[in-house]
Structure 1
């Protein structure tokens, strides 16, 4: 994996995507673990405060690791108008069993940049996460010149599936249930070429 300088916070019209800090943990616990609709599919049960703290701390440390030096790590999604943390998102390296080209024989697993996202229920339906993810994809595929980004969720997670579709993830595949992918996974990939072609037309 090619290495790049530690990236500055990314901005959109309404949001700042900044590196996570341990101090974000109580806020994440409040907005992620207090509402079943948020944790239903990821991770499938609410985290305890210490578990959420460790999750946050791991992402907060990523800028000092290989993923951070490559420009890839989790970020806190902050609303500009009031400085409130409303979610988390990022593109992080993930080892994918069988590789990303699911229809072709693979020699083994591949390390792939993978999009993740989670947002407090109060902020759903306002376009915030679409806005955040588009900026992350622009950063990864255009600025970092990565060839592709993967994304996966559960079929029943209709909100996440719709977001994947809005972002243009294609083609979509359905891996067999596993501890890695979950019980009913749906996954997709978007390449730099596809992103460049659709970036001015995706709504």
Structure 2
């Protein structure tokens, strides 16, 4: 029996994807993805299995406590874990905190299929219709053009307020980040109402 003091754990469904709570069976695929140079090109470095597992456990805990977060994403047809997309509170060290960010990280074999956009639109629908957020932000390294394209496809706009990420080394090409946002709109199946 579920502890009634804990919130409902939300699962989101799109035509092709299930955004759900993490499972132990996701850890190996998540670690392989996080250890891949290609997937981690716009992050400071690929992660070890221990680092990847720690992130998955932290994301699981957030969903357990809040009912939502960076969900594990499953391809419905194959029932395979493909990555993570969702929402979370920004880290306190960021200059625009507190805020809720939307983010994504998918295994490269699932790129160029529209999955990040599909899952992100569903996450925004949840953010505005269920959480009643007024605004959602997203940020990435200025050189990360693929993620910037996803931000623009889901209706986000550049705030024109770039910032240096506080945990990125000063001489890194990843230091300068762009900040995008989208303000509350009522979304129905990923489209404006």
2:143 corresponds, among 140, 156, 178, to 156
2:30 corresponds, among 28, 31, 36, to 28
Distance 2:29 2:95 in 1: 36
The residue aligned with 2:181 is 189
Structure 1 residues 54 and 200: alpha-carbon distance in aligned structure 2, compared to 1, 3 A threshold: closer
Deviation at 1:78, TM superposition (A): 0.2
| Higher helix proportion | 1
- RMSD over aligned CA atoms reads 2.2
Checking the alignment, whether the CA contact within 8 Å between 1:22 and 1:57 is kept in structure 2 is no
Structure 1 residues 164 and 96: alpha-carbon distance in aligned structure 2, compared to 1, 3 A threshold: farther
Deviation at 1:116, TM superposition (A): 1.3
Range moving further from structure 2, 176-185 or 154-163: 176-185
Give the TM-score, by structure 2 length. 0.84
Alignment of 1:200 onto 2:187: no
Deviations 1:62-103 (A, max 9, x none): 1333xx1xx43111110000100011111001136443xxxx
The residue aligned with 1:105 is none
Alignment of 1:86 onto 2:77: no
Distance 1:121 1:141 in 2: 29
Structure 1 residue matching 2:71: 3-state secondary structure: strand
Aligned pairs, number: 180
The residue aligned with 1:16 is 18
The residue aligned with 1:132 is 119
Give the TM-score, by structure 1 length. 0.80
Alignment of 1:115 onto 2:102: yes
The residue aligned with 1:107 is none
Distance 2:29 2:136 in 1: 28
